[in-house]
Structure 1
Amino acid sequence: MSEAQHDNLQNADGQEQIEQKENVTLISQSVLDEIDNSNAEENEDDSIKEKHEIPVLDYDVLSMEELTDELEKLVENEKVMAIKDHVEGIRKAFSDKYHHFIEEKKEEFSAQNNEEGLDFEYHFPLKNKFDDIYNSYKASKAKHFKQLQNNLEQNFATREGLIEELKNLIDSDDTSISDMFKKVNDIRDRWKNAGAIPRDKYNILWNNYHFHIERFYDIMNLDKEARDLDLKNNLEQKQLIIAKAKELLNETDVMKAFRELQLLHRVWKEEIGPVDRVHREAIWNEFSEITKQMHDKREGLYAIAREKETETLAIKNEIIRQIEALGTEKIEAHSGWQAQIQKMEALREAFFKAGKVPAEVTEETWAKFKNAVRAFNAHKNVFYKDIKNEQHENLTKKLELVEKAKLLKESTDFAATTPIMKKIQDDWKKIGHVPRKYSDSIWKEFKEACNAYFDRMHEAKNAETSEEVEAFEKKKAFLEELKDFTLSGEHKTDLESIKAHIATWKTFGKVPFNRRHIEGKFNKILDALFEKLSLSKKDTEMMRFSNRLEQMSDNDDKRALEQEQFFIRKKIDEVQSEIFQLENNIQFISSSSKGENPFIKEVQKNIERHKDDLKLWKEKLQQIKNM
């Protein structure tokens, strides 16, 4: 495109347009069209220019909460037309995420609710907040458009009137060249200040204006001195624009430089008239070449961005592949699915954080991601649907146990009823989970029935019988006798004597529940006697332990036995952990220093002591199991 064409000057000097030379640098028409369209848009509404100063975030990587906050910030602080592109990007990103989110919730609802007639509803307050902000933005934009449209139409009418005035001036025969020149400059000044016009009329109106300016310059041939002065002034102004454009080539912010170049094109077209034919092609070609260089620099940035987007596409495809793989794994436990869901959430977050992909595959990639997630959720929902059916079966079983417990809770035949109640409790533990909404209520009902029975049973047990009182008195007297007992020093004889005392103690029978402290006193005396025997630590400990277990068994204290077993298992875990830690610590000491290292020897002795303790605890556990 030549300077003459760009200025809409055809034969302004009365000569045929010179054909472009082969060595003139041409700039892509699409780039010029882009610049013209952008200038037409910004001419219509000056506030649009401010959009370049507002950062455009990668909205695809933001969460719905972050998108809502960003929309609110923009709407509250920026002009409506300056954030048009920003708002559209936010709206699309939020919409994609929201619909994906709702699809998942709907699939979960369908999987968990088999009953007919149930409609899916999901209350999501964030969506309401987002819609309120977006609707506020649309209302502000509509109000702005209405006011802008009135101004645009008025400005258009003003500019048409100026063109008509220019046309009449040129066609008049009674005006001198000097007066005409002054009046044209006045029309030019008023034209510059006439304001914005509708963008769809921008090019037509400007072409019409330039056409009549060209006619004026044709007439100006009659006053060559004035014409040449004006053309020279235009040339100087365009040379200044070229100088500014050259400086922009050194700007590190390429996108900012390109936007400023667009403004220079706007000034070139709208505010400066034509130049002399001799310089016209050269100066336009120079400006075009600078524009081409700037365009090439911007294309270089775009190329880097496209490479990054291609890399992101590979990352997102890999994430999709991993999600697809998750959706085919066979998981048969709730804990396993919880781990899968955590993996899924991590992959989902990674997908959104990865960034943009090439525009031509954006929709395809998003569809692949949604399909992969949908397949995973379908696989998960099948499992939980089966779980739900199983939980309803468990509910039926537990309700039956509740009814049994209620029927037995008033029974006074403790000998016959207690084993049945304990079996009911054991059966309850084996059944498994019920639907959450019934879990607390059914457990409360069951616990109240069981507690009612066992409270009555314990109350009856705690009541002192004459036999138990007599047994207490005998044990009390026997303790007094034991105070005078001394060991002979003969190991075998003393051991038999202690065993005989234990056997005698057992013959006295059970004591009242609230007087069982006497058993502890007897155990203390035994402990003191065992300490004096020349038994090994292990044998002494096992004899004490066996005596305690027999007392629990004789008193039918099942709860105490269970607590003892729990305690021993805990001790086994602690000792095993300590052994593992000590052995692991040794691994960090170099082999060359292990041989004579006193610290190592002490640790190894400590390990052996722990192993002996572990063996003892395991024997105790086995003894409880054998009861």
Structure 2
Amino acid sequence: MGIESDNLQNAEGNEKKVKSLQNLESTYNKDSHKEDSIDGLDSEKSKENLSIEEITIPEKDYESLSLDKLIDELKYLIGQYPVHLIGENINSLRDIFSKKFDEYETERKQKFINDGGEELSYQPDLFLKNKFNSAYHDYKTKLNSYYKEQELSEQNNLNKRVQIIEELKDLYTTPMESISTFFKKFRDIKERWHNAGKIPKSKAGDIFKTYFHHLDNAHEFIKLNKELEELDYAHNLEQRKAIISRAEELTTEPSVQKALNELQYLHKLWKEQAEPVAEEFRESTWQEFKAITQKIHERKSELFEKINEEQQVNLEKKKAIISQLKSIVSAENQDHSFWQNNVKKIEELREAFFTTGRIPKEVSSDTWSIFKNLLHEINNKKNTFYKDLKKIQQENLKKKNDLLEISKVNKDSEDWDVALNLYKKIQNEWKNIGHVPRKYSDKLWDEFRQNCNYFFNRYKLRNNKINEEWTENLKRKQKLLDEILSFSAADKDEALNKINEYSIQWNSIDKVPRENMNINKEFNLAIKNLIKKFDIDKNIIDEIQLNIKVENYKQSKDNKKLDEDLRKMRKQIQDLGHEIVQLENNLSFFSNANQDNPLLQNTLNNIETKKTKLEDLKQTYSKLINLNLSESNSNYETDENISKETETE
């Protein structure tokens, strides 16, 4: 008996992991004294009575969650798991939430101050914090209720066990009604004791010691009655055979872990409800049960091998997840599109890591650290990108507001050429600026587009008006051209006066439509024919043309056009001076050539032609630069300076 007790003491294990068995023993029937066996101990019942200690709360990287997600996780844990098992997770959530909320508030306050707000006027946003605190308060309330219920339950169980001890004491100290009644009560007491539940730790030692004291006394009482002892031995032997039979079935149980758990329970049952038995069966039944126990324990290696295989598969899966996360971390061009496309993928990889299952303990910590650090690095990169993007978008917002203001100020401008170039320029700049915060984007674009459309509509209407004016100018020029073509003069002087008059009239008429520009060539041809017809000297004509040009400038008072024509003329004078110098330098190539050499003659003629043109330009420039139109003359060099520069070159 002592040997069995020593071995059984080691087999008990954690009581929380032991399933209760209903009706393992039945009381003796008055007629047959037959007992029920423990065949009801099947796999389904074991599954239904899974102990709380076997519940596993998945690991999660709380650092990577937003404030909203942390609140959701807190509520999920409270609603999904026994409240007394989630303390470590809850404390971790609380610390991380506090840290993230402080960072959020610090950034929000700094933005408020940067936007011009007074520090003393800042109001913190406590919505999320209050929401978290409310959920945390629910957890504390639920936890307190759990401990109160546990305390009350343990006290009730203590009262039950005290009552059971009293009944056990009365059973062997009071006269026995009958053997069947005695055994019925005895088995009922043992069954109720077995199922009585936890009691306060401070009372457990004394209560169990008292119970087993009276249990031993009850067994001693049974020994005094031979018939009673034989019935007790027979009942206990039946229980041992039932336990052995069930243990034998466990040797073929597919789940090794389930077999080990149930074997642990059978050893506890052996100690509590299968002792004592007759001397001739005591050692043999124990050895049989012990051999089966050893056989089941030998299956541990099978279990460990299977667990190791599963953990190796899980390790490879987690390595693959880590590899994908590393490729995301090291990817180039991590722009907005990159993060939009990978946010969902990162979340899927994260969830896959947590649901993959356990891996070998020796690499578990390192693998978790690598995974967690990668997630932190990804989050830091993403947050830094969007923080920088926010700054860039604020800069873009300022630029677009500046362009919007320009479009407002100039939309009614009538300086058409300048305004047209301006609007083309700001439209191009707008396209190249880039994104602004979404809440401003549509509003800004709509207003900018309206201003641009307003100007271009005005410009279009203005062009229509100009086209009408140009059409009218065409009619006037055509009428004048018809008059020139039909003109007939008596002598050269009359022809000269008419040419002068026609030129003044023609130049006083403004532009014509682009497609009718040839009418100017027709006019020039008609004048040339008149000059040729009356043999008028070219210098006289040039003088007339110059006087007409001067007169046009005086009448129009267009300083800008005069300045532009002078600039172009000065450029022509400089270019001609360079060309003449280059041609004169080229004469050195003809030092040994005859004077009648065609190339030499062509070069000399070319030099003479350019010098004549240069002289004409200088005279024209000299006359125009001295026109008393505006102070714009000061922007140009005098005729003498140009002449000197040309001579030097």
- Residue pair 1:2, 1:285 contacting (<8 A) in 2 also: no
Aligned to 1:33: 12
Aligned to 2:415: 413
> What is the Cα deviation at residue 138 of structure 1?
5.2
1:451 and 1:507, CA in 2 relative to 1: closer, same or farther beyond 3 A? closer
> What is the Cα deviation at residue 408 of structure 1?
0.3
Instruction: Work out the CA distance in 1 between the residues paired with 2:419 and 2:156.
Output: 94
1:289 and 1:432, CA in 2 relative to 1: closer, same or farther beyond 3 A? same
Aligned to 1:196: 196
Instruction: Work out the CA distance in 1 between the residues paired with 2:366 and 2:21.
Output: 34
List per-residue Cα deviations over 1:450-502 (Å, max 9, x = no partner). 233223323444569645777999xxxxxxxxxxxxxxxxxxxxxxxxxxxxx
- Residue pair 2:260, 2:296 contacting (<8 A) in 1 also: yes
1:84 and 1:362, CA in 2 relative to 1: closer, same or farther beyond 3 A? farther
Give the letter for the 1:435 counterpart: P
Q: Which of 129, 139, 145 matches 2:150? A: 145
- Residue pair 2:318, 2:356 contacting (<8 A) in 1 also: yes
- Residue pair 1:42, 1:48 contacting (<8 A) in 2 also: no
Instruction: Work out the CA distance in 2 between the residues paired with 1:328 and 1:464.
Output: 62
Give the letter for the 2:372 counterpart: K
Instruction: Work out the CA distance in 2 between the residues paired with 1:120 and 1:72.
Output: 24
- Residue pair 1:3, 1:284 contacting (<8 A) in 2 also: no
> What is the Cα deviation at residue 193 of structure 1?
3.7
- After superposing the two structures, state which structure 1 stretch, 153-162 or 358-367, moved more: 358-367
Aligned to 2:581: none
Aligned to 2:589: none
Aligned to 1:5: 5
Which structure carries more relative contact order (alpha carbon 8 Å, separation 6+)?
A: 1
| TM-score normalized by the length of structure 2 | 0.53
- Residue pair 1:231, 1:274 contacting (<8 A) in 2 also: yes
Instruction: Work out the CA distance in 2 between the residues paired with 1:35 and 1:279.
Output: 29
Give the letter for the 2:452 counterpart: C
After superposition, residues 487-498 of structure 1 pair within 5 angstroms as none
- Residue pair 2:12, 2:267 contacting (<8 A) in 1 also: no
Instruction: Work out the CA distance in 1 between the residues paired with 2:109 and 2:332.
Output: 23
Aligned to 2:494: none
List per-residue Cα deviations over 1:290-342 (Å, max 9, x = no partner). 23333443563344123322442344245335534543555364444545656
Aligned to 1:276: 278
Give the letter for the 1:428 counterpart: W
Aligned to 1:357: 359
1:340 and 1:224, CA in 2 relative to 1: closer, same or farther beyond 3 A? closer
- Residue pair 2:311, 2:358 contacting (<8 A) in 1 also: yes
Instruction: Work out the CA distance in 2 between the residues paired with 1:209 and 1:357.
Output: 45
After superposition, residues 190-589 of structure 1 pair within 5 angstroms as 190-193=189-192, 196-199=196-199, 200=201, 205-297=207-299, 300-320=302-322, 322-324=324-326, 326-331=328-333, 333-338=335-340, 341=343, 344-345=346-347, 347-358=349-360, 362=364, 365-462=367-464, 466-467=468-469, 507-508=515-516
Q: Which of 156, 161, 181 matches 1:156? A: 161
Matched position secondary structure for 2:214: helix
Q: Which of 43, 48, 51 matches 1:50? A: 48
Give the letter for the 1:411 counterpart: S
- Residue pair 1:313, 1:358 contacting (<8 A) in 2 also: yes
- Residue pair 1:100, 1:370 contacting (<8 A) in 2 also: no
Instruction: Work out the CA distance in 1 between the residues paired with 2:366 and 2:142.
Output: 30
> What is the Cα deviation at residue 230 of structure 1?
2.2
> What is the Cα deviation at residue 431 of structure 1?
1.8
- Residue pair 2:314, 2:357 contacting (<8 A) in 1 also: yes
List per-residue Cα deviations over 1:16-54 (Å, max 9, x = no partner). xxxxxxxxxx78x76x132655349999xxx99834399
1:310 and 1:414, CA in 2 relative to 1: closer, same or farther beyond 3 A? same
> What is the Cα deviation at residue 432 of structure 1?
1.8
After superposition, residues 170-189 of structure 1 pair within 5 angstroms as 183=182, 186-189=185-188
Instruction: Work out the CA distance in 2 between the residues paired with 1:93 and 1:226.
Output: 56
Give the letter for the 1:290 counterpart: I
> What is the Cα deviation at residue 155 of structure 1?
0.7
1:191 and 1:383, CA in 2 relative to 1: closer, same or farther beyond 3 A? closer
1:187 and 1:436, CA in 2 relative to 1: closer, same or farther beyond 3 A? same
Instruction: Work out the CA distance in 2 between the residues paired with 1:145 and 1:280.
Output: 40
Instruction: Work out the CA distance in 1 between the residues paired with 2:15 and 2:290.
Output: 14
- After superposing the two structures, state which structure 1 stretch, 214-223 or 226-235, moved more: 214-223
Aligned to 2:561: none
Instruction: Work out the CA distance in 2 between the residues paired with 1:204 and 1:437.
Output: 73
> What is the Cα deviation at residue 367 of structure 1?
3.7
Give the letter for the 2:5 counterpart: Q
Instruction: Work out the CA distance in 2 between the residues paired with 1:110 and 1:144.
Output: 42
1:362 and 1:276, CA in 2 relative to 1: closer, same or farther beyond 3 A? same
List per-residue Cα deviations over 1:518-552 (Å, max 9, x = no partner). xxxxxxxxxxxxxxxxxxxxxxxxxxxxxxxxxxx
Aligned to 1:575: none
Task: Give the greater-gyration-radius structure (CA).
Answer: 2
Superposed CA RMSD in Å reads 5.3
List per-residue Cα deviations over 1:390-424 (Å, max 9, x = no partner). 33322222222122111101112323311111111
| TM-score normalized by the length of structure 1 | 0.55
> What is the Cα deviation at residue 227 of structure 1?
1.9
- Residue pair 1:2, 1:284 contacting (<8 A) in 2 also: no
Instruction: Work out the CA distance in 1 between the residues paired with 2:105 and 2:463.
Output: 52
> What is the Cα deviation at residue 158 of structure 1?
0.8
1:4 and 1:309, CA in 2 relative to 1: closer, same or farther beyond 3 A? closer
Instruction: Work out the CA distance in 2 between the residues paired with 1:72 and 1:104.
Output: 19
> What is the Cα deviation at residue 434 of structure 1?
2.5
Give the letter for the 1:52 counterpart: L
Show structure 1 runs of 5+ residues with no match.
Answer: 7-25, 77-82, 170-174, 474-503, 510-627
- Residue pair 2:18, 2:261 contacting (<8 A) in 1 also: no
> What is the Cα deviation at residue 505 of structure 1?
11
Aligned to 1:588: none
Instruction: Work out the CA distance in 1 between the residues paired with 2:323 and 2:410.
Output: 58
1:320 and 1:102, CA in 2 relative to 1: closer, same or farther beyond 3 A? farther
1:130 and 1:295, CA in 2 relative to 1: closer, same or farther beyond 3 A? farther
Show structure 2 runs of 5+ residues with no match.
Answer: 23-44, 114-118, 476-511, 518-649
1:48 and 1:147, CA in 2 relative to 1: closer, same or farther beyond 3 A? farther
Instruction: Work out the CA distance in 2 between the residues paired with 1:442 and 1:193.
Output: 80
Give the letter for the 1:38 counterpart: K
Instruction: Work out the CA distance in 2 between the residues paired with 1:321 and 1:99.
Output: 30
1:165 and 1:360, CA in 2 relative to 1: closer, same or farther beyond 3 A? farther
- Residue pair 2:168, 2:214 contacting (<8 A) in 1 also: yes
Instruction: Work out the CA distance in 1 between the residues paired with 2:153 and 2:374.
Output: 47
- After superposing the two structures, state which structure 1 stretch, 389-398 or 213-222, moved more: 213-222
Matched position secondary structure for 1:52: coil
> What is the Cα deviation at residue 196 of structure 1?
1.2
- Residue pair 1:3, 1:285 contacting (<8 A) in 2 also: no
List per-residue Cα deviations over 1:347-391 (Å, max 9, x = no partner). 434423433234576555434322221122223333333333333
Give the letter for the 1:323 counterpart: L
1:347 and 1:389, CA in 2 relative to 1: closer, same or farther beyond 3 A? same
